[in-house]
Amino acid sequence: MKTVKVTAEYTIFMRKDNRYAIQANGKWINADAKVEILKKEGLVKAPEPKPAEPAAEEASEEKTEG
Protein backbone atom coordinates (compact mmCIF):
# COMPACT_ATOMS: atom_id res chain seq x y z
CA MET A 1 0.00 0.00 0.00
CA LYS A 2 1.11 3.50 -0.75
CA THR A 3 0.85 6.20 1.94
CA VAL A 4 -1.32 9.10 0.74
CA LYS A 5 -1.54 11.31 3.83
CA VAL A 6 -0.40 11.18 7.44
CA THR A 7 -2.09 13.25 10.15
CA ALA A 8 -1.86 13.20 13.95
CA GLU A 9 -5.07 11.15 14.16
CA TYR A 10 -4.79 8.70 11.24
CA THR A 11 -2.90 7.53 8.14
CA ILE A 12 -4.55 7.20 4.74
CA PHE A 13 -3.27 4.55 2.34
CA MET A 14 -3.98 3.83 -1.34
CA ARG A 15 -4.46 0.11 -1.88
CA LYS A 16 -3.34 -1.75 -5.00
CA ASP A 17 -6.94 -1.83 -6.23
CA ASN A 18 -7.08 2.02 -6.06
CA ARG A 19 -9.32 2.10 -2.99
CA TYR A 20 -8.47 3.81 0.28
CA ALA A 21 -7.63 2.32 3.66
CA ILE A 22 -7.42 4.34 6.88
CA GLN A 23 -5.58 3.33 10.00
CA ALA A 24 -5.85 5.13 13.37
CA ASN A 25 -3.94 4.03 16.47
CA GLY A 26 -3.15 0.65 14.89
CA LYS A 27 -6.81 -0.09 14.08
CA TRP A 28 -8.47 0.06 10.68
CA ILE A 29 -11.29 2.56 10.21
CA ASN A 30 -14.36 1.36 8.24
CA ALA A 31 -17.88 2.31 7.17
CA ASP A 32 -19.30 5.79 7.81
CA ALA A 33 -16.26 7.02 9.74
CA LYS A 34 -14.02 6.15 6.78
CA VAL A 35 -16.30 7.92 4.32
CA GLU A 36 -16.43 11.07 6.47
CA ILE A 37 -12.62 11.21 6.74
CA LEU A 38 -12.18 10.74 2.98
CA LYS A 39 -14.75 13.47 2.23
CA LYS A 40 -13.09 15.83 4.73
CA GLU A 41 -9.71 15.25 3.09
CA GLY A 42 -11.18 15.80 -0.39
CA LEU A 43 -10.29 12.35 -1.67
CA VAL A 44 -13.86 11.28 -2.54
CA LYS A 45 -17.07 13.06 -3.45
CA ALA A 46 -20.46 12.25 -2.01
CA PRO A 47 -22.84 10.77 -4.58
CA GLU A 48 -25.73 13.01 -5.58
CA PRO A 49 -29.10 11.76 -4.37
CA LYS A 50 -31.36 10.39 -7.08
CA PRO A 51 -34.50 12.45 -7.72
CA ALA A 52 -37.78 10.75 -6.93
CA GLU A 53 -39.58 9.39 -9.97
CA PRO A 54 -42.93 11.20 -10.33
CA ALA A 55 -44.41 8.48 -12.58
CA ALA A 56 -44.01 5.84 -9.88
CA GLU A 57 -45.59 8.10 -7.27
CA GLU A 58 -48.61 8.79 -9.50
CA ALA A 59 -49.10 5.10 -10.21
CA SER A 60 -49.12 4.23 -6.51
CA GLU A 61 -51.67 7.00 -5.80
CA GLU A 62 -54.01 5.70 -8.50
CA LYS A 63 -53.95 2.19 -7.01
CA THR A 64 -54.88 3.44 -3.55
CA GLU A 65 -57.79 5.57 -4.83
CA GLY A 66 -59.44 2.89 -6.99
The stretches of 1-66 forming alpha helices (DSSP H) are 31-40, 54-65
Dihedral, CA of residue 23, residue 29, residue 35 and residue 39, to nearest 10 = -30
Q: What is the pLDDT of residue 23?
A: 96
Please report which confidence band the pLDDT of residue 53 belongs to, taking 50, 70 and 90 as the band edges.
confident
CA distances, 53 to each of 33, 43, 58, 60, 64 (Å): 31, 31, 9, 11, 18
Residue range 14-21: average pLDDT?
94
Model confidence at 59: pLDDT above 60: no
pTM above 0.95, yes or no: no
The whole-angstrom distance between residue 51's C-alpha and the CA centroid of its chain comes to 19
